[in-house]
Amino acid sequence: MSQMLDTLMQEKIVAIFRNIEDRYADQAAEALLAGGITLMEITMNTKGAPAMISRWRDKYGDQAGIGAGTVLDLQMAKEAVAAGAQFLISPNLDEAVIEYGIRSGVSVWPGVMTPTEIVKAWKAGAEAVKVFPMGTLGWKYLAEIKAPLDKIPMMATGGVDLDNIGDYFKAGACAVGMGSKLVNMEWVREGRFDLLTERARKFADAVKSL
């Protein structure tokens, strides 16, 4: 098990920063760190993502794992790794990205939905997969596919909230990816970073008790 996978399974939550404006990014990251969230991905379709990843590695590298999300292809993977991303997360399965991650020593957690995609990703060398979109599929779907595929670590992304986070872990998730439910962009733009910290702490506490 890689160190980053070990961290994922211990921390259990990846915060997803999508379309955050650079001027708010550092304060938002610090607000989540203060609330106990230590794994953060900046999606590659966020303006200036590589520069933010690089800066966060410098600023928060000793406190947090910093990765890239929405890594759709090999070119994006190369940009993310060059910026210092410690893990790559995708909504899709691209075996070239997994292969590149293995060569570069960077964890890759590709997006999958069907049992066929999950096994294909695993055989290609992915150490964990992101089951997506969970908001539509729901935790019962995860429980069904986890039964025969129990050896493959699965992160659930989409649809996770405080009232159902326990269900996802009971269904077999090793971690969850969380976007707007955790990184509320209205609060960010209003400068309500205290609310971000409070929300982060609630989620961090919820997974500690699991």
**Of the listed 11, 12, 41, 146, which one is catalytic?**
41
Residue 143 banded pLDDT, cuts 50, 70, 90:
very high
| Torsion sign over Cα 52, 74, 106, 89 | positive
Residue 210 banded pLDDT, cuts 50, 70, 90:
confident
Three-state DSSP class for 178? strand
Q: Do the domain assignments include residue 173? A: yes
79 among known catalytic residues? no
170 among known catalytic residues? no
Q: In terms of C-beta distances under 8 Å and separation of at least 24 residues, what long-range contacts does 184-192 make, across chains too? A: 185/19, 185/20, 188/20, 188/24, 188/27, 188/28, 189/21, 189/24, 191/27
Can you read off the two tokens belonging to residue 22?
Answer: 């650079």
Omega cis (within 30) before 133: yes
Q: Do the domain assignments include residue 153? A: yes
Q: Do the domain assignments include residue 210? A: no
Q: Do the domain assignments include residue 143? A: yes
Q: Do the domain assignments include residue 50? A: yes
| Tens-place pLDDT, residues 35-62 | 999 999 999 999 999 999 999 999 999 9
Parent domain of 61:
3-205
**Of the listed 11, 12, 130, 146, which one is catalytic?**
130
pLDDT at 155 over 80: yes
The mean pLDDT value for 94-105 works out to 98
Can you read off the two tokens belonging to residue 110?
Answer: 């590709």
How far apart are alpha carbons 171 and 113 in whole angstroms? 15
DSSP 159: S
Q: Do the domain assignments include residue 147? A: yes
Three-state DSSP class for 20? coil
Q: Do the domain assignments include residue 24? A: yes
Task: Give the pLDDT of residue 209.
Answer: 82
Residue 98 banded pLDDT, cuts 50, 70, 90:
very high
**How many C-beta neighbours within 10 Å does residue 18 have?**
17
Q: Do the domain assignments include residue 72? A: yes
The domain that holds 201 is classified in CATH as 3.20.20.70
Number of domains composing the chain = 1
